[in-house]
Amino acid sequence: MPYKAKFKVWRGDAESGELRDFLVEVNEGEVVLDIIHRLQATQAPDLAVRWNCKAGKCGSCSAEINGRPRLLCMTRMSTFTEEETVTVTPMRTFPVIRDLVTDVSFNYQKAREIPSFTPPADLAPGDYRMQQVDVQRSQEFRKCIECFLCQNTCHVVRDHEENKEAFSGPRFLMRAAELEFHPLDTADRVPSAQEDHGLGLCNITKCCTEVCPEHIAITDNALIPMKERVADRKYDPVVWLGSKIFRRSKT
């Protein structure tokens, strides 16, 4: 049965803004993005929202719903009671452009700072067969849709603009881990993750993992193993010596 839901939607720009109240129709099976579209169609034609696929795959409709980082297109209205007020605000960690749209260029900058996959220069096509276990490890990380909800959630940068230069965030520490664990990557990703991308600032709270719409075990499978490698290099003399003598041939 259709009903009228109470919505509070943040409207404004980089200078100022406020929550505005709306009463809007909701139909069975709808998601929050449907309601935002209905607001645009009926009450707020200039309401800015970013979206593309409406299928949880493009990563562009990230926002905060009742204070929790979520995809607008994957949050069903049935999550809330009919009496509940649904509050929709832009991601807090990134500068607002307008209404629900934020400037996420911080993430593209950090992406550029991670050196790309570096296979051995003399490796010919067909020379190497990956083990299934190595394929599966990369595949988990490559499910990332770059919604940046994990980046938005991480307390290291969420209310600490001053940490953004030193900290690349869970999505890009995970990218460093993906490459570090790749059997053919010859670059040494461990020191740069720690020193250039701020791995040491992560205190494994797992908040990033909790909000990931792809259910990637960011903390357990990427961040903690990278931290273990950092610790092994620092405190285990055998690992330290091995890292010096057997610098990745990996073929």
For ligand SF4, the binding residues (CB under 6 A) are: 144-150, 153-154, 156, 170-171, 202-208, 211-214, 216, 218-219, 223
Taking CB within 5 to 8 Å according to partner kind, which of ligand FES, ligand SF4, none is near residue 77? Answer: none
Q: How far is the CB of 64 from ligand FES (least distance, A)?
A: 14
User: Residue 210 contacts by C-beta under 8 Å, 6 or more apart in sequence?
Assistant: 153
Taking CB within 5 to 8 Å according to partner kind, which of ligand FES, ligand SF4, none is near residue 54? Answer: ligand FES
Distance, in Å, from the CA atom of 31 to the CA atom of 120, rounded to the nearest integer, reads 47
DSSP codes of every residue in 1-17: --EEEEEEEEEEBSS-E
Taking CB within 5 to 8 Å according to partner kind, which of ligand SF4, ligand FES, none is near residue 75? Answer: none
Q: How far is the CB of 112 from ligand FES (least distance, A)?
A: 23
Report if residue 51 touches ligand FES, rule: CB under 6 A: yes
Taking CB within 5 to 8 Å according to partner kind, which of ligand FES, ligand SF4, none is near residue 53? Answer: ligand FES
What letter would DSSP give residue 220?
I
* 175-234 binders of ligand FES (CB under 6 A): none
Q: How far is the CB of 145 from ligand SF4 (least distance, A)?
A: 5
Q: Give the per-residue contact string, 59-98, with ligand FES (x = CB under 6 A; - = no).
A: xxx---------x-x-------------------------
The candidate with the shortest Cα–Cα distance to 38, out of 79, 80, 70, 86, is 86
- Judged by beta carbon, residue 11 or residue 206, the one nearer ligand SF4 is 206
* Residue 218: other Cβ atoms inside 10 A: 28
- Rule CB under 6 A: choose which of 6, 20, 37, 54 binds ligand FES: 54
Distance, in Å, from the CA atom of 113 to the CA atom of 109, rounded to the nearest integer, reads 7
Residue with tokens 């953004």: 164
Q: Output phi, psi for 21, to 5 deg.
A: -90, 140
Q: What angle do CA 217, 193, 198 make, to 5 degrees?
A: 90
Contact 51, 33 (CB under 8 A): yes
